[in-house]
Amino acid sequence: MARREIGASGLGREQGQGQKQEQKQEQKQEQKQEHIRLEGVGLRYFTPREETEALRGISLSIGRGEFISIVGPSGCGKSTLLSLISGMLRPTQGTVTIDGAEVAGTSDKVGYMLQHDHLFEWRDVLGNVTVGAEIRRMKKEDAKRKGEELLKRYGLGDFIHHAPAQLSGGMRQRVALIRTLVAEPDILLLDEPFSALDYQTRLTLSEEVFRIIKDQNKTAVLVTHDLSEAISMGDRVLVMSKRPSTIAAAHDIVFDEGDNLSPWSKRQASRYHDYFNTIWKELDDHDVPAL
């Protein structure tokens, strides 16, 4: 059974307000409508010379509007898990469902934000944010209106007709996120979207992306090697083991200071370092049993 709270990992629990906060989080989690489910998911790669078991027995439920962070050793299959949710890969065992329907291929319900922005340099900002909508055959007028609305709402209204080369790295990634949102997905998959940025820009952009995703009430799954990022952005952090990868631990991220903290505020919160130290130990411990 997944560790629902960090206290189950051996840390002492404070009474009173902290305990009430945890109970509140549990109740909120139970009330969330299930959006994504993975049941007994496994994945094997086959070549003429060998067979590789990448994932084994992954079972996971993600609620609508929940923000999940996934951490684990390099090469353990974190990005592979996103590919299974998106329908770009099919599991060799088990099932992946979205809204109760088995995932049989890619879907308009799912949007991807990658490590690099992949903006088209020959298009202006507005032209870039409408690309996904055009591919999905949304009416051009609707895509343009939606793109302009989101660019203005999230601080890029003055750059609508700028070329990508005129933007900073953080602004380019914001454009990439808005491009994904214009196509109106229900689910956002974030594959290390800040890894190519300098540290200060990463902090700023993680704040902005978190705010936008919560504002849009999207279900989000973030893959990252940055443990601070995982804890400060996620409602829950999943720890994956080395290959064949399983979910080794799961932690609801609950702070006594309140429910609606920004990533920066979470980094300053009283329990932040407890979460960090516990999950860091799990990442460093190759003998953590699968749950």
Residue 2 has pLDDT above 50, yes or no: no
By CB atoms closer than 10 A (0-12, 13-18, 19+), residue 288 is middle
User: Does residue 233 belong to any structural domain of this protein?
Assistant: yes
- Give the H or E element holding residue 59: strand 51-63
Q: What is the pLDDT of residue 22?
A: 54
- Asked whether the beta carbons of 44 and 51 are under 8 A apart, the reply is yes
User: Does residue 162 belong to any structural domain of this protein?
Assistant: no
User: Does residue 128 belong to any structural domain of this protein?
Assistant: no
User: Does residue 250 belong to any structural domain of this protein?
Assistant: yes
Confidence of residue 184 (pLDDT cuts 50, 70, 90): confident
Domain with 251 in it: what CATH number? Answer: 3.40.50.300
By CB atoms closer than 10 A (0-12, 13-18, 19+), residue 20 is exposed
- Nearest Cα to 54, choosing from 70, 65, 62, 43? 43
pLDDT in tens, 93-112: 999 999 999 999 888 889 98
The domain of 64 spans 34-109+221-286
User: Does residue 47 belong to any structural domain of this protein?
Assistant: yes
Q: Is beta strand 247-252 parallel, antiparallel or unpaired with respect to 187-191?
A: unpaired
Q: Is the dihedral of CA 207, 196, 118, 132 positive or negative?
A: negative
- Asked whether the beta carbons of 187 and 161 are under 8 A apart, the reply is no
Domain total of the chain: 1
CA distance 230 to 235: 9
Residue 214 has pLDDT above 60, yes or no: yes
pLDDT in tens, 163-173: 999 998 889 98
The stretch 5-18 carries a mean pLDDT of 41
Q: How many CB atoms lie within 10 A of CB 32?
A: 15
Residue 9 has pLDDT above 50, yes or no: no
The stretch 191-209 carries a mean pLDDT of 85
User: Does residue 85 belong to any structural domain of this protein?
Assistant: yes
User: Does residue 163 belong to any structural domain of this protein?
Assistant: no
User: Does residue 131 belong to any structural domain of this protein?
Assistant: no
- Asked whether the beta carbons of 279 and 71 are under 8 A apart, the reply is yes
Which residues on neighbouring strands pair with residue 249, listed in sequence order? Answer: 239
